[in-house]
Amino acid sequence: MIVKEHEIPAKLLKLAAAHKRLFEHHPDYRQVESELYRERSGYAGELRVDYPLSKIDFPHFILHDLRLRLFQNYFQMDTLLLTERFALILEVKNFTGIISINPTFNQLIQTVDGETHTYNDPVIQVEEQKQQQLQWLGFSSIHKLPIETLVVMANPKATLDITSEKHREHIIPISQLTQKIRDISQKYHEPVMPVDATSRLAHKMKDHHNFKNYNIEKNFRIHFDDYKRGIFCPNCKTSIMIRLRRRWHCRRCKFRSHDAHVDSFKDFYLLKGEEITNRDVRDFLRVDSDNLAKYFLQQQNFETKGNTIGRKYLMKYDMQKDFDYLLK
């Protein structure tokens, strides 16, 4: 049973909006592009575990992208599988190429087209998540639940070249995930708690989940004034549209739309924040008319605060449902 579905990261959406609106000559454009590629790849890899997990044939509860608070910090798990007998933390990597481990220096080494890239040892990473999860469970008076860990290489194009016995036990290709979970299940015969208590624990974890936000300007040399203004064509996705006869027109692909401006409100929300004014609309959407900007704002049924002159509109969007246009 899936208690918590996959979560589209705020970082992925904000990077996508920034990449869409940055000029290619901006000094951080390529860095944003590279970081966006990694985020897309990582999210795609996490989704790949769904099929092997769907074949598990014993009672279980699944929580994806779970971020819990422990003291003053947070820890996050890609996927947590919870049963009445054991828990399993999955750390999902979507690497391609040849994957090897240097156990001496605790490094994962990726070789692609003759180039090597080094990363922190994911086994150490997931083992740290285990220790934090054990502490978190201790505060819920759950002390005897065994926790297993696995690093799943989700990309079928990855080749594992791992000589360390410890790492071979914990790092597996996604094709082996279902059987590996069954093998782990065979190790634990006695329930630590009833199934209904396990269900309550899973839902308690979901209730304690903290969504991780992301600030573009704190991580890059980007100011809001650096972004392109205007309405992007939803069809060709690159051209700025013009408004003729109450519709938006794309000069490049000739696409027409009555509501292409809606996505620009969402871009503003991701890149600037939830408050927007009539002046912001005129600037960001390239709308010359005060009345037209007011009309667009009223169309959206945003909450308002302040008087007519200083009125601000409060945009409310769901990160998981309202930004599909950035993921296509």
Residue 307's pLDDT is what? 78
Q: Are residues 241 and 143 in the same domain?
A: no
C-alpha 187/C-alpha 148 separation (Å) is 11
pLDDT tens column, 4-31:
999 999 999 999 999 999 999 999 999 9
- pLDDT range class, residue 328, cuts 50, 70, 90: confident
Residue 80 CA from chain centroid, whole number: 16
Residue 310's pLDDT is what? 80
pTM score of the predicted model = 0.94
Residue 308's pLDDT is what? 74
Q: What integer is the mean pLDDT of 179-203?
A: 97
Residue 120 CA from chain centroid, whole number: 20
Domain count, the chain: 2
Residue 49's pLDDT is what? 98
Q: Are residues 7 and 82 in the same domain?
A: yes
Q: Are residues 136 and 235 in the same domain?
A: no
Of 249, 171, 208, give the one whose Cα is nearest residue 74: 208
pLDDT tens column, 262-313:
999 999 999 999 999 999 999 999 999 999 999 999 999 999 998 777 899 9
Q: For the chain, what is the mean pLDDT?
A: 96
Q: For residue 216, give the amino acid letter.
A: I
Structure tokens that stand for 221 in this block: 């040399």
Q: What angle do CA 79, 82, 83 make, to 5 degrees?
A: 150
pLDDT tens column, 82-140:
999 999 999 999 999 999 999 999 999 999 999 999 999 999 999 999 999 999 999 98
Of 74, 54, 28, 61, give the one whose Cα is nearest residue 216: 28
Q: What integer is the mean pLDDT of 212-226?
A: 96
Q: Are residues 267 and 159 in the same domain?
A: no
Q: Are residues 82 and 113 in the same domain?
A: yes
DSSP string, 102-164: ETTTTEEEEEETTEEEEEE-HHHHHHHHHHHHHHHHHHTT-----EEEEEEE--TTEEE----
Residue 306's pLDDT is what? 87
- pLDDT range class, residue 167, cuts 50, 70, 90: very high
Q: Which domain holds residue 264?
A: 229-326
C-alpha 63/C-alpha 89 separation (Å) is 10
Residue 309's pLDDT is what? 76
Q: Are residues 135 and 9 in the same domain?
A: yes
Q: Are residues 28 and 148 in the same domain?
A: yes
Structure tokens that stand for 111 in this block: 């070789």
- pLDDT above 80: residue 211: yes
Last residue in a domain, options 172, 207, 242: 207
Q: Are residues 202 and 265 in the same domain?
A: no
